[in-house]
Amino acid sequence: MANGNPRLKSVNLVRRTSDLRYTAEAMMNPSQSGVELAEEYLSTQSDRVSAWLERLVPAETVEPPVLHRAMRYSLLASGKRLRPALCIAAGEAFGAQESELLPVACALEMIHTYSLIHDDLPSMDDDDFRRGRPTCHKTFGEATAILAGDALMTLAFRILAIEGVSDGREANRLRIIAGISAAAGTPGGMVAGQVLDLEGEKTPVDAGGLDRLHAAKTGALLTVSVVAGALCGDADAGVVERLKRFGAGLGLAFQIADDILDLTGTPEELGKTPGKDVASGKCTYPSLYGIDGSIDRARATIGEALEVIEPLGPRVDRLRQLACFVIDRRK
């Protein structure tokens, strides 16, 4: 990779740049960028989601206790909570009620956490650390970790089916369930993307193949997080289509930034072991485009995503802030 020492490169892709328009809220407070506002928002929503998760997940004392300890260990660990935050931001932009919106946001976080538990297993990415502490299988053993992931995924769909479904909005919730199950599964969803990722360790992947891989593995769940939130509100078909395109762009930019951080981040910043992708021989955006080329691609992708939601006006400013955060984060 011909870009010098990658650890000397900055991944601050959008802060103080003129090509991305920040929100009116940030303009009223010049000391804060859209990214800083996003970080505050993520912190607030993380606390909100964690409080709901505490109530929705079985207590550690419920039989079988080891299973519930493992579920809670991974689910309630510190994390960005980006997917539920995207869901909440989109939902609140279109008038969703908390009682309907938060169960969907929590289900998305459960599905994401299940995927992390399984992704860390020795038969998959074989990681020892996640969210700043030993992975689930290192703490509870492989068998319990697999079952904890299974339990989180199935609990997520139970919550989607029964929690916060308002009278007269059952059909809407079915649309949300169908969308989330497609994004989490196959074809074109997270599980399909994980298979493509494993195959990519043995077979060369070109630029188009890498985009398809990550559109499934990473982008699908991020996209449906935005769409599901909007469907909890009053978003019409045209708005939903715009949000799908926005989510797809955000998902791609997120993965490009993730690949850069795998080279430039520290274990303390990332909460996991950096350099794993290169060590396993995976194709990444920096391996195809270099660090600078990857930064350019991420910025262009986020710019296009923001253009798509420009007609939606200030109501989606939180989504704009989160989009800027995606490519200007350190973990």
Q: Is the dihedral of CA 130, 134, 136, 138 positive or negative?
A: positive
Residue 187 zone, left/alpha/beta (φ > 0; ψ -120 to 50; rest):
beta
Rounded to 10 deg, the angle between the 82-93 and 220-232 helix axes is 30
- Given a contact cutoff of 8 angstroms between Cβ atoms, the answer to whether 147 and 135 are in contact is no
Q: Return left, alpha or beta for 151; rule: phi > 0 is left, psi -120 to 50 is alpha, else beta.
A: alpha
**Res 32: pLDDT:** 59
Distance separating alpha carbons of residues 140 and 145, to the nearest angstrom: 6
**Which H helix or E strand runs over 133?**
strand 133-134
- What is the pTM assigned to this prediction? 0.89
303, two tokens: 């710019």
Query: For residues 51 and 102, is the Cβ–Cβ distance under 8 A?
Result: no
List phi, psi (to 5°) of 212. -65, -40
Q: How many residues does the chain have?
A: 331
* Sequential pLDDT tens for the chain (331 residues): 333 333 333 344 443 333 344 343 443 343 457 788 999 999 999 999 999 999 999 999 999 999 999 999 999 998 899 999 999 999 999 999 999 999 999 999 999 999 999 999 999 989 999 988 999 999 999 999 999 999 999 999 999 999 999 899 999 999 999 999 999 999 999 999 999 998 988 888 999 999 999 999 999 999 999 999 999 999 999 999 999 999 999 999 999 999 999 898 777 777 777 777 777 778 899 999 999 999 999 999 999 999 999 999 999 999 999 999 999 887 6
Q: Give the helix/strand (H/E) hosting 130.
A: strand 129-130
Pick from 254, 260, 251, 247: nearest CA to 293: 260
Partners of 130 in the β-ladder: 133
| Separation CA 288–CA 142 (nearest Å) | 34
Residue 212 and residue 289: Cα distance in Å, rounded?
16
Task: Give the pLDDT confidence score for residue 3 in this predicted structure.
Answer: 39
Residue 134: phi and psi, rounded to 5, are -55, 145
Question: What would the two tokens of residue 322 be?
Answer: 């989160």
* pLDDT for the residue numbered 193: 96
pLDDT of residue 260: 93
Which tokens is 78 given?
């510190």
Which residue ranges form the domains of the chain, and what is each CATH number? 32-326 (1.10.600.10)
